[in-house]
Structure 1
């Protein structure tokens, strides 16, 4: 509250003591954005998020100081219910990371307040399906370049804001017999990566785990980049982790992953860039393009933030732009099941 109120560009219009009051104030004050804690009396942040996104959709970011398993699980479930991001709560002016966490919170609030959100349904099965892609979704007539006949041997994905829910939707559509290893870079608050992998695994037929140094890549297994380490691959087909400096502010970085996969797999690389703020992954996608690999980008209409995929689209290096609901089908069409 004090951190946000201290910024001249942010006006704090209300403060709720619990989830029920958060719903009431959101309805009456119609704020540009809600910051939501998870554990509150009467109604927790998970239920409050679900109700707000059903009744009067409003950008919501989760602000937490805890990394307990239960809070991680509830926070990720809230992302699935429409919350946009999880941010570390500044815990006091004398804490070592106070300035960094305050700066990130303020920047995120300003960026997310401009996001247009959609209604989320109480029963996910009742939600209207995403519209299928049409010819306008592709940057090139005829879809992927027909001259590239090399079958993909690896799938690399990068995402940021809105990514956990997008990843959940994509992975849940891949079949159990999916034959490629899948590597993921997702920007998320430190301490939440193990919980993210576990949460994604509950809705996927594939095994989802945090990648470990030297681990052999296995078909049909999903590897999530660990906290504060870049993740790449070796030419021998194993995971390589690195603590080199952040790339344009990110560690793990989508660019590091894409460049590494392009070096190791060349034209057999399949890269996917999903919703996210900024341009992480762009330089790495240029490497994928030079190597002859294929690139899929999530479209603007289904992206929470079109920054990362939009940068790749603007650079003219993407093969096809698709709504989120069509990406898994496109991947499967390129990777025949054997």
Structure 2
């Protein structure tokens, strides 16, 4: 077991000498980091990871010989290690690679900090420090699609039946996720058809600047339409609304989206508590709240308020979580009705198609 006083051993993977030197300098400003090796392409990254067994890797995505996505797949399959994806650009092609790497097992993505931006440099170091303590396992699914919009996949699992009359339908669904969330969200949502009958709103903790790219990436992964929420939006079936960068998202008494700039919750904005509390106020038992993998306790307080109004609340079970923080806190507050795997969550959402269709006919 690693002694907490030992330095965090880092491998920096970056093909640009300038950026590589800058990342090393940022980390070496802090006494708790030790850069034990560097690589300029994915092939070298795999070799040095096997040899040095670092605590964490910072991974560029666009590199010669082998890109960061393929290197992440190989590392997470062969020698699972915490990986922070470092993106030099917010161009969609690079953002897509970054989120594909997250789906393959990387923990988070962050933009390369500017050398003249001390705040960004501090945030970069803190992200690497935090992620170095996340235990990781082999998670890469070698099945891949051909890049086209996926068709919903049927899931046959034994899951609990919703504890409510089949006549009573869910009107809105909220999902909270953080570390490990993008891949789990894609896995759940790609199993839903494009005419899924209930609006879905998502609060995903994400590095500022990646919101638009994340929405575009997820839109390409699922059959439903995905976009960033705008002030005054009406949530509609068939569309997933994502909380934008640095704004809390909630619904008002008319069911319209509000984006607000209140103080961050424990350093987090957007916070899922805002969305879930608005569900409790205006939807009560007609709402569903879902909390997925992530650090901390965001969403737990809001889910507790929802639970008191008779909502249906779901938490991702521990073994499938990259970080079992947010689900655990919601469970400890006794705010959860079902603890399910991602596939089981998708199956329960599929139940809602039947519930809503039957309710509409009666």
Specify whether residues 274 and 196 from structure 1 end up closer, same or farther in structure 2 by C-alpha distance, changes over 3 A only. Answer: same
Shift of 1:146: 4.7
Matched, 1:107 2:125: no
SS in structure 1 of the partner of residue 66 of structure 2: coil
1:321 corresponds to which residue? 339
TM-score relative to the length of structure 2: 0.83
Matched, 1:207 2:229: no
Deviations 1:303-325 (A, max 9, x none): 00000011111222110100111
Unpaired segments of 5 or more residues in structure 2?
1-23, 146-154, 358-362
- Counterpart CA distance in 2 for 1:100 and 1:321 is 36
Moved more, 5-14 or 243-252: 5-14
Deviations 1:270-328 (A, max 9, x none): 00000001111111111111221110000010000000011111222110100111101
Specify whether residues 120 and 99 from structure 1 end up closer, same or farther in structure 2 by C-alpha distance, changes over 3 A only. Answer: closer
- Counterpart CA distance in 2 for 1:134 and 1:210 is 34
Specify whether residues 193 and 98 from structure 1 end up closer, same or farther in structure 2 by C-alpha distance, changes over 3 A only. Answer: closer
1:128 corresponds to which residue? none
SS in structure 2 of the partner of residue 240 of structure 1: strand
Shift of 1:4: 2.7
Specify whether residues 53 and 116 from structure 1 end up closer, same or farther in structure 2 by C-alpha distance, changes over 3 A only. Answer: closer
Specify whether residues 83 and 162 from structure 1 end up closer, same or farther in structure 2 by C-alpha distance, changes over 3 A only. Answer: same
Shift of 1:335: 4.4
Specify whether residues 148 and 177 from structure 1 end up closer, same or farther in structure 2 by C-alpha distance, changes over 3 A only. Answer: closer
Matched, 1:52 2:72: no
Query: Does structure 1 conserve the Cα–Cα contact (< 8 Å) formed by 2:110 and 2:124?
Result: no
1:139 corresponds to which residue? none
Moved more, 151-160 or 103-112: 103-112
Matched, 1:72 2:75: no
1:29 corresponds to which residue? 52
Query: Does structure 2 conserve the Cα–Cα contact (< 8 Å) formed by 1:59 and 1:117?
Result: no
Shift of 1:38: 1.4
SS in structure 2 of the partner of residue 295 of structure 1: strand
Higher relative contact order (CA 8 A, sep 6+): 1
Shift of 1:251: 0.9
Q: Specify which of 103, 109, 120 is matched with residue 98 of structure 1.
A: 120
Q: Specify which of 216, 233, 240 is matched with residue 251 of structure 2.
A: 233
- Counterpart CA distance in 2 for 1:134 and 1:107 is 40
- Residue correspondence of structure 1 range 38-187 to structure 2 within 5 A: 38-92=61-115, 94-95=116-117, 97-112=119-134, 115-124=135-144, 145-146=163-164, 150-187=168-205
- Counterpart CA distance in 1 for 2:265 and 2:186 is 26
Shift of 1:108: 2.5
Shift of 1:219: 1.2
Query: Does structure 2 conserve the Cα–Cα contact (< 8 Å) formed by 1:299 and 1:309?
Result: yes
Shift of 1:144: 5.1
Unpaired segments of 5 or more residues in structure 1?
126-130, 136-141
Moved more, 47-56 or 304-313: 47-56
SS in structure 2 of the partner of residue 14 of structure 1: strand
Shift of 1:98: 3.1
2:7 corresponds to which residue? none
Matched, 1:14 2:37: yes
Moved more, 12-21 or 146-155: 146-155
- Counterpart CA distance in 2 for 1:96 and 1:325 is 42
Query: Does structure 2 conserve the Cα–Cα contact (< 8 Å) formed by 1:55 and 1:119?
Result: no
2:17 corresponds to which residue? none
Query: RMSD over aligned Cα, in angstroms?
Result: 2.4
Query: Does structure 2 conserve the Cα–Cα contact (< 8 Å) formed by 1:158 and 1:186?
Result: yes
